[in-house]
Amino acid sequence: KNEVEQSPQNLTAQEGEFITINCSYSVGISALHWLQQHPGGGIVSLFMLSSGKKKHGRLIATINIQEKHSSLHITASHPRDSAVYICAAHKGAQKLVFGQGTRLTINP
Protein backbone atom coordinates (compact mmCIF):
# COMPACT_ATOMS: atom_id res chain seq x y z
CA LYS A 1 0.00 0.00 0.00
CA ASN A 2 1.34 3.42 -0.99
CA GLU A 3 1.94 5.95 1.76
CA VAL A 4 -0.08 8.50 -0.25
CA GLU A 5 -3.22 7.35 -2.04
CA GLN A 6 -5.36 9.40 -4.38
CA SER A 7 -8.85 8.83 -5.67
CA PRO A 8 -10.18 8.64 -8.21
CA GLN A 9 -7.36 7.71 -10.59
CA ASN A 10 -9.31 9.05 -13.54
CA LEU A 11 -12.14 11.56 -13.59
CA THR A 12 -14.13 12.84 -16.55
CA ALA A 13 -16.70 15.60 -16.12
CA GLN A 14 -18.61 18.19 -18.08
CA GLU A 15 -17.66 21.83 -18.12
CA GLY A 16 -19.12 23.65 -15.13
CA GLU A 17 -19.24 20.68 -12.78
CA PHE A 18 -17.84 20.79 -9.25
CA ILE A 19 -14.79 18.54 -9.00
CA THR A 20 -13.38 16.80 -5.93
CA ILE A 21 -10.11 14.87 -5.80
CA ASN A 22 -9.20 13.06 -2.61
CA CYS A 23 -5.87 12.25 -1.00
CA SER A 24 -5.25 10.01 2.00
CA TYR A 25 -1.91 9.45 3.64
CA SER A 26 -0.70 6.97 6.19
CA VAL A 27 2.40 8.71 7.50
CA GLY A 28 3.04 11.65 9.74
CA ILE A 29 3.48 14.73 7.63
CA SER A 30 4.57 18.32 8.15
CA ALA A 31 2.76 19.66 5.07
CA LEU A 32 0.88 18.53 2.00
CA HIS A 33 1.16 19.80 -1.56
CA TRP A 34 -1.27 19.75 -4.42
CA LEU A 35 0.45 19.87 -7.79
CA GLN A 36 -0.81 20.18 -11.35
CA GLN A 37 0.85 18.51 -14.34
CA HIS A 38 -0.29 19.26 -17.89
CA PRO A 39 0.49 16.78 -20.70
CA GLY A 40 4.03 17.38 -21.90
CA GLY A 41 4.49 20.08 -19.34
CA GLY A 42 6.19 20.49 -16.05
CA ILE A 43 4.67 20.34 -12.62
CA VAL A 44 3.21 23.43 -11.01
CA SER A 45 2.63 23.75 -7.30
CA LEU A 46 -0.97 24.78 -6.57
CA PHE A 47 -1.11 24.69 -2.78
CA MET A 48 0.96 23.83 0.22
CA LEU A 49 -1.03 23.42 3.41
CA SER A 50 -0.56 22.01 6.86
CA SER A 51 -3.99 22.75 8.32
CA GLY A 52 -7.42 24.07 7.43
CA LYS A 53 -8.26 25.36 4.01
CA LYS A 54 -6.73 27.45 1.22
CA LYS A 55 -8.44 29.05 -1.78
CA HIS A 56 -7.02 30.39 -5.01
CA GLY A 57 -9.48 31.42 -7.68
CA ARG A 58 -11.68 28.42 -8.46
CA LEU A 59 -9.43 26.02 -6.56
CA ILE A 60 -9.92 25.09 -2.92
CA ALA A 61 -7.75 22.72 -0.89
CA THR A 62 -8.62 21.37 2.52
CA ILE A 63 -6.78 19.14 4.94
CA ASN A 64 -7.89 17.21 8.03
CA ILE A 65 -4.80 16.28 10.00
CA GLN A 66 -6.66 13.97 12.41
CA GLU A 67 -8.20 11.97 9.58
CA LYS A 68 -5.03 12.17 7.42
CA HIS A 69 -7.06 13.31 4.47
CA SER A 70 -6.97 16.19 2.02
CA SER A 71 -9.24 17.23 -0.81
CA LEU A 72 -8.80 19.44 -3.84
CA HIS A 73 -11.96 21.05 -5.19
CA ILE A 74 -12.47 22.85 -8.49
CA THR A 75 -15.57 24.99 -8.87
CA ALA A 76 -17.09 25.82 -12.26
CA SER A 77 -14.65 23.47 -14.00
CA HIS A 78 -13.31 24.36 -17.45
CA PRO A 79 -11.60 22.31 -20.17
CA ARG A 80 -8.33 24.11 -19.41
CA ASP A 81 -8.43 22.47 -15.95
CA SER A 82 -7.77 19.14 -17.68
CA ALA A 83 -4.50 17.86 -16.24
CA VAL A 84 -3.06 15.37 -13.80
CA TYR A 85 -3.42 16.49 -10.19
CA ILE A 86 -0.87 15.09 -7.77
CA CYS A 87 -0.96 15.06 -4.00
CA ALA A 88 2.44 15.02 -2.29
CA ALA A 89 3.17 14.76 1.41
CA HIS A 90 6.18 16.15 3.23
CA LYS A 91 7.27 13.16 5.26
CA GLY A 92 9.56 14.24 8.04
CA ALA A 93 11.68 17.29 7.37
CA GLN A 94 12.50 16.99 3.72
CA LYS A 95 11.24 13.98 1.83
CA LEU A 96 8.29 14.47 -0.51
CA VAL A 97 6.15 11.38 -1.09
CA PHE A 98 3.88 11.55 -4.11
CA GLY A 99 0.51 10.01 -4.84
CA GLN A 100 -0.02 8.34 -8.18
CA GLY A 101 -2.00 11.28 -9.56
CA THR A 102 -5.56 11.83 -10.72
CA ARG A 103 -6.11 12.38 -14.43
CA LEU A 104 -8.90 14.95 -14.84
CA THR A 105 -10.62 15.54 -18.17
CA ILE A 106 -13.19 18.30 -18.50
CA ASN A 107 -15.29 18.07 -21.63
CA PRO A 108 -16.84 21.21 -23.17
Partner 1 sequence: EAGVAQSPRYKIIEKRQSVAFWCNPISGHATLYWYQQILGQGPKLLIQFQNNGVVDDSQLPKDRFSAERLKGVDSTLKIQPAKLEDSAVYLCASSLDHGGTDTQYFGPGTRLTVL
- Helix (H) or strand (E) segment spanning residue 48: strand 43-49
C-beta closer to partner 1: residue 35 or 106: 35
Q: How far is the CB of 68 from partner 1 (least distance, A)?
A: 17
Q: Which of 7, 12, 14, 50 binds partner 1 (CB under 8 A)?
A: 50
**Distant-in-sequence, close-in-space partners of 67: CB < 8 Å, separation ≥ 6:** none
Report CA torsion sign: 61, 23, 32, 83: negative
Stretch that binds partner 1, among 14-22, 51-59, 67-75, 97-105 (CB under 8 A): 97-105
